[in-house]
Amino acid sequence: MDTTPSPTLRLTEFSHGGGCGCKISPSVLREIIARSAPGFVPADLLVGIETADDAAVYRINDRQAIVATTDFFMPIVDDPFDFGAIAAANALSDVYAMGAAPLFALAIVGMPIGRLPVETIRRILDGGESVCAKAGIPVAGGHSIDSVEPIYGLVAIGLVDPANIKRNRGALDGDALVLGKPLGVGVYSAALKKQQLPAGRYETLVAAATQLNTPGIALGRLEGVHALTDVTGFGLLGHLLEICRASGVGANIAFSDVPLLPDAAALADQGIVTGASSRNWASYGDEVDGVLDATVRALLTDPQTSGGLLVACSPSALDDVLSAFRRDGFDRATVIGRIVAGAPRVAVDAQPAAAIAAPERASIA
């Protein structure tokens, strides 16, 4: 993979935001969806918009259901190949987050024709196709428009046994919370745009954002996994709150055990964060308990592009969950807290997650 940004063309200069930081804020999105008409809901539509889940699921028969989702955004990095690869991995993540395996994809392409060279646009598509090839699926078509800002993403189609569907609801009191990838992609992207990303961290960003969330397939088969989602534009707190609201529970997390990309905390401490982080906090900060300084708040609300899976599982399934991550190379998958009974709120605790999630065990990870 080409991991060196072009010295002559900066894709991020073409857009007002990048990656999942482009998402509409959580509070505005909830208001839009709340005003949507109910519409026709057939019995075979197993998952729709009711809990802001990662994808729609439609049952074909007792053993097969189609998983359908779409995701697209503006450049988070300057290298066109890397932009395409990150966007594709991010779109496929929603399929894995449902416990499904991807089948094929369709490309969504909006480009400022006449401002971006055709070769650059072709490299964006090449990056997306390379990630789909790693996932073992084709890009079978798509749609393109001439747009003011560069936009790329996928419609991702997957297949799952209805018995193995994982949703963002179903978390139970006492469940352990496991995060599959470190946080900090949004901070990195903000530093990149300001040309303040430390040496060597660009490669770290690309590696994190293009790592496919393939453990989702194995997690879908584990009965002890009660809820599953991926952490993207609303940050860790936002997506954990979605699990809490959908499940009718609360959560405690230990910030000291939340995995972070190298230098992410130092960059956030310097105020190098995305605008989406403050929008996220404004949307749901009143549902978070604990004394959070500016750096901690920025990291927990940091919009992740192609972020990690977030799992709520029974303590008895914890070893199997961590093994599923380790088998696919997610060495930093970590227990960060637990689900608790009560109102759908998140408390940020300084206590180590080992004590929060499973006090009878000296070490979890």
As given in the structure block, the two tokens for residue 20 are 């999942």
Q: Is 42 within 8 Å of 177 (Cβ atoms)?
A: no
Bridge-based pairing state of the strands 45-47 and 151-160: unpaired
Look up residue 285 and give its DSSP letter: G
- CA 290 to chain CA centroid, nearest Å: 24
Catalytic residue status for 20: yes
C-alpha 258/C-alpha 231 separation (Å) is 13
Which residue's entry shows tokens 């130092």? 266
C-alpha 22/C-alpha 40 separation (Å) is 30
Residue 256's closest CA among 354, 363, 361? 354
Residue 283's closest CA among 242, 335, 248, 228? 242
Residue 184's closest CA among 167, 201, 165? 201
Question: What residue ranges in 126-175 does DSSP mark as E strands?
Answer: 139-146, 151-160
Identified catalytic residue from 20, 22, 132, 313: 20
Q: Which sequence positions are flagged as catalytic?
A: 20
